[in-house]
Amino acid sequence: MRFFFFFLLSSIVISCKEDPSQKKIDQVPSTDGTTSLDTLVVTLKPTKKLRSFDGLADTTFVRLADFSDGFSYDMRYATNNNFLKEKVYDCAECYTRVKTAKVLIAANKVFKKKGVRIKFFDCYRPNSVQYKMWKIVPNPQYVANPKKGSIHNKGGAVDITLETLDGEELDMGTDFDFFGKKAYHDMTELPQEILDNRILLKETMEAHGFWSVRTEWWHYNYGKASNEKVANFKWPCNEEL
């Protein structure tokens, strides 16, 4: 009987170690310091396994959260909290082309070494959404004409800020989509902390092949994706960020 007990206990422990990402053994000691079989709890720990870029063409559209868990998201156009004052995405997702995703992950590794990470406001934008935005605000100063499209529509532009690893946004001087001189990169009449935060964002992104827009501290285009065609790929809404 004693042999059967230890065989059973060993079998449970071994089977639970086969996939450590899925199962965890919690042994709850009794009051006398021993651990009995009926206090052995197997807790399932479902974890999402990150995908690899292996075999994917650089032009493929991918969901960034499937390839890295190191980012933060506040997808404003999936809410009413944006300059349009209207929700234009069916659900909150961040997609880019593979070539853009790779350099975003690389840039984020540099940021994390400095105690911050990228937080996304917008990523790839289907051209149909560009038409929605143009209908609300038909002004090329604020919204790219959908007939021509923007680099957002090509999967090569992102709107971002930085936040600490604890989730506190760095002060950039204005909110996302603030249209005024205070949001310009060449606005220097700001507190030094804000200027330093913007410089950190800009210099790191540019070091990874992105270029900025003078009037928007949050907007970055990946140069190698700027020649892609305007796309209207639409993502499923079954797994929001």
Q: What's the predicted TM-score (pTM) here?
A: 0.80
Q: Single out the residue of 177, 157, 163 nearest to residue 217, CA to CA.
A: 177
The pLDDT assigned to 238 comes to: 79
Q: Single out the residue of 157, 158, 160 nearest to residue 228, CA to CA.
A: 157
Hunting for tokens 């070539």 — which residue is that? 99
pLDDT tens string, the chain, 241 residues long: the values are 544 444 444 444 444 444 444 444 344 444 444 444 443 444 444 457 999 999 999 999 999 999 999 999 999 999 999 999 999 999 999 999 999 999 999 999 999 999 999 999 999 999 999 999 999 999 998 999 999 999 999 999 999 999 999 999 999 999 999 999 999 999 999 999 999 999 999 999 999 999 999 999 999 999 888 889 999 999 999 766 6
Hunting for tokens 């004409």 — which residue is that? 145
| Run of H or E including 200 | helix 192-207
For the record, the structure tokens of 210 come out as 């992105």
Hunting for tokens 């827009």 — which residue is that? 213
The pLDDT assigned to 121 comes to: 98
Query: Rounded to an integer, what is the distance from CA 77 to the centroid of its chain?
Result: 15
Q: Do residues 164 and 116 make contact, with C-beta atoms less than 8 angstroms apart? A: yes
Q: Do residues 44 and 22 make contact, with C-beta atoms less than 8 angstroms apart? A: yes
Q: Do residues 150 and 221 make contact, with C-beta atoms less than 8 angstroms apart? A: no
For the record, the structure tokens of 178 come out as 């603030």
Residues 6+ apart with CB under 8 A from 105: 67, 68, 70
